[in-house]
């Protein structure tokens, strides 16, 4: 079955954070030309964080009734505003059904380890949001079918970081997203399901990835991520002045940017699109007329301005072997094995004859144990808090502007990237 012309739209938490936001989503669908359409929706606003807090209290044997009530009030509040004067609307029946499932789950003691329990509870954020959005669209003339992503995206049991089985999912998706059933489908981002029927999640911010997977499996013509910014910018406007929109980015460039730490899109998103050369648009749901950014196969020459990516809360660690050996392959492999074992994320490495330096994320649950073990074989020095600035496509002017007058502890340059590790600046 061919799905020619099918488009995939992804709406993140901010785009459905309130009743007005959901009304705006409808406006976007009405104004944006589309034939068959899959609408992927995240949990509303900061719901995933709220569910994580709820889970922590539940797992810790603490009270969670207030947190649960707030979750209920928030979703009912949005639904009441959207279905004003219609207390018998089916949407409320569906919401009640979901909250009964949440109550039933929380009434039992945790049925497994943290990651497993996380994946049984946290997907309710997306189940709730898509239920409200689906009913609202139907009520306003956009008839649609609600698809349970857990039934069509099959994953393994790596809870909280589930890996998709593309072959099985392809079969299931082609069955669920059947154009004979509807022209518009509403489904959840971020979640999938195992063969045994338990829920899984794809990692925080995973809805972009869901949109890319579905586009790949259904051979969509394009994917649009609707955001509250006008496309991909060359820096985070909260941290840098005079940001610029990047009109076009190639797939490899987008992967490089995500790797540097740019929070443009979930890093796994590009591959499924690149494999089928499906373009990805990033556009503003506040200003849908604006052009946005397109991420697609190389072809055009793009004169990219310098792109600034700042990673905060970094630790600079220098290691000197205690046995006065040089830092040769043997030491390097020991160091990496150890950092990997403790799941410490390494962002930059540099070695000299007698010392080896790494810049890592400051992860309070992981780093101290890794440092303790490193001290057995190395003299360890570390500095924190540091920040690491990457300037991709750097120019002398861009470097001077950012770095002049600051103490640089470590720097590294390739033809395209310049990276500087410096004291962390206060942000007020």
Task: By CB under 6 A, name the binding residues for ligand ASP.
Answer: 12-13, 42-43, 48, 125, 189-190, 204-207
Residue number with the shortest CB distance to Mg ion?
Answer: 12
| Least Cβ distance, residue 74 to Mg ion (angstroms) | 16
Q: Which is nearer to ligand ASP, 70 or 328 (CB)?
A: 70
Binder of Mg ion out of 12, 189, 193, 292 (CB under 5 A): 12
| Least Cβ distance, residue 22 to Mg ion (angstroms) | 15
Q: Which is nearer to ligand ASP, 189 or 231 (CB)?
A: 189
Of ligand ASP, Mg ion, none, which one sits near residue 267, judging by CB under 5 to 8 A according to partner kind?
Answer: none
| Least Cβ distance, residue 279 to ligand ASP (angstroms) | 20
Could you tell me how many residues of this chain bind Mg ion (CB under 5 A)?
3
Cα(419)–Cα(408) distance, rounded to whole angstroms? Answer: 10
Of Mg ion, ligand ASP, none, which one sits near residue 204, judging by CB under 5 to 8 A according to partner kind?
Answer: ligand ASP
Partners of residue 282 on adjacent β-strands: 225, 293
Cα(407)–Cα(395) distance, rounded to whole angstroms? Answer: 19
Of ligand ASP, Mg ion, none, which one sits near residue 231, judging by CB under 5 to 8 A according to partner kind?
Answer: none
Cα(196)–Cα(134) distance, rounded to whole angstroms? Answer: 27
| Least Cβ distance, residue 183 to ligand ASP (angstroms) | 25
Told to check if 13 binds Mg ion by CB under 5 A, we report yes
Measuring CA to CA, which residue among 189, 186, 180 is closest to residue 47? 189
Please state whether the peptide bond connecting residue 385 to the residue before it is cis, i.e. omega within 30 degrees of 0.
Answer: yes
Of Mg ion, ligand ASP, none, which one sits near residue 43, judging by CB under 5 to 8 A according to partner kind?
Answer: ligand ASP
| Least Cβ distance, residue 284 to Mg ion (angstroms) | 15
Using CB under 5 A, which residues numbered 361 to 390 contact Mg ion? none
| Least Cβ distance, residue 281 to Mg ion (angstroms) | 17
Cα(99)–Cα(72) distance, rounded to whole angstroms? Answer: 8
Q: Which is nearer to Mg ion, 66 or 228 (CB)?
A: 228
| Least Cβ distance, residue 124 to Mg ion (angstroms) | 16
Told to check if 206 binds Mg ion by CB under 5 A, we report no
Q: Which is nearer to Mg ion, 42 or 284 (CB)?
A: 42
| Least Cβ distance, residue 308 to ligand ASP (angstroms) | 24
Q: Which is nearer to ligand ASP, 48 or 224 (CB)?
A: 48
| Cα dist from 118 to 93, 190, 240, 295, whole Å | 25, 13, 35, 32
Q: Which is nearer to Mg ion, 42 or 250 (CB)?
A: 42
Cα(92)–Cα(76) distance, rounded to whole angstroms? Answer: 8
Using CB under 5 A, which residues numbered 19 to 58 contact Mg ion? 42
Cα(336)–Cα(342) distance, rounded to whole angstroms? Answer: 10
Q: Which is nearer to ligand ASP, 268 or 419 (CB)?
A: 268
Of ligand ASP, Mg ion, none, which one sits near residue 125, judging by CB under 5 to 8 A according to partner kind?
Answer: ligand ASP
Q: Which is nearer to Mg ion, 64 or 74 (CB)?
A: 74
Of Mg ion, ligand ASP, none, which one sits near residue 190, judging by CB under 5 to 8 A according to partner kind?
Answer: ligand ASP
What per-residue string of b and e applies to 208-238 under the rule 16 or more CB within 10 Å gives b?
A: bbbbbbbbbbbbbbbbbbbbebbbbbbbeee
Q: Which is nearer to ligand ASP, 212 or 278 (CB)?
A: 212
Q: Which is nearer to Mg ion, 258 or 344 (CB)?
A: 258
| Least Cβ distance, residue 291 to ligand ASP (angstroms) | 24
132: Cβ contacts below 8 Å, ≥ 6 apart = 16, 22, 44, 75, 78, 79, 82, 91, 95
| Least Cβ distance, residue 339 to ligand ASP (angstroms) | 26
Q: What is the rounded end-to-end Cα distance, in angstroms, of the chain?
A: 55
| Residue given tokens 């689906």 in the structure block | 134
Residues that bind Mg ion (CB under 5 A): 12-13, 42
């Amino acid at each position: 079955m061919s799905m020619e012309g099918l488009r995939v739209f992804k709406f993140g938490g901010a785009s459905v954070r309130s009743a007005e936001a959901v009304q705006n989503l409808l406006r976007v669908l009405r104004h944006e030309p589309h034939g068959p359409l899959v609408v992927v929706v995240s949990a509303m606003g900061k719901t995933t964080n709220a569910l994580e807090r709820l889970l922590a209290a539940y797992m810790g044997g603490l009270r969670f009734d207030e947190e649960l009530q707030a979750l209920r009030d928030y979703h009912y509040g949005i639904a009441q505003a959207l279905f004003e004067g219609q207390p018998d609307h089916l949407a409320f029946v569906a919401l009640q059904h979901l909250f009964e499932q949440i109550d039933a789950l929380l009434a039992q003691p945790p049925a497994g380890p943290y990651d497993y329990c996380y994946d049984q509870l946290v997907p309710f954020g997306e189940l709730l949001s898509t239920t409200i959005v689906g009913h609202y669209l139907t009520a306003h003339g956009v008839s649609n079918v609600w698809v349970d992503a857990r039934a069509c995206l099959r994953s393994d049991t790596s809870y909280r970081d589930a890996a998709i089985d593309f072959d099985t999912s392809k079969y299931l998706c082609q069955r669920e997203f059947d154009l004979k059933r509807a022209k518009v489908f509403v489904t959840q981002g971020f979640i999938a399901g195992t063969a045994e029927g338990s829920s899984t999640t794809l990692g925080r911010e995973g809805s972009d990835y869901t949109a890319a997977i579905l586009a790949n499996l259904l051979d969509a013509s394009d994917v649009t991520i609707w955001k509250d910014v006008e496309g991909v910018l060359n820096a985070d406007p909260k941290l840098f002045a005079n940001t610029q929109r990047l009109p076009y980015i190639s797939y490899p460039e987008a992967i490089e940017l995500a790797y540097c730490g740019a929070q443009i899109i979930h890093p796994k998103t590009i591959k499924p699109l690149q494999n089928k050369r499906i373009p990805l648009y990033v556009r503003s749901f506040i200003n849908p007329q604006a052009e946005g950014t397109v991420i697609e196969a190389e072809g055009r020459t793009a004169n990219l301005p310098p792109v600034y990516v700042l990673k905060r809360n970094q630790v600079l660690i220098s290691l000197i072997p205690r046995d006065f050996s040089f830092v040769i392959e043997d030491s390097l492999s020991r160091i990496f094995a150890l950092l990997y074992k403790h799941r410490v994320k390494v962002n930059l490495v540099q070695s000299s004859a007698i010392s080896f330096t790494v810049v890592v994320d400051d992860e309070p649950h992981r780093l101290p144990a890794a440092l303790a073990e490193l001290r057995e074989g190395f003299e360890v020095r570390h500095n924190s808090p540091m920040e690491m600035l990457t300037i991709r496509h750097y120019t002398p002017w861009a470097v001077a502007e950012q770095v002049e007058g600051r103490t640089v502890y470590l720097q590294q340059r390739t033809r395209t990237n310049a990276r500087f590790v410096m004291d962390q600046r206060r942000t007020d």
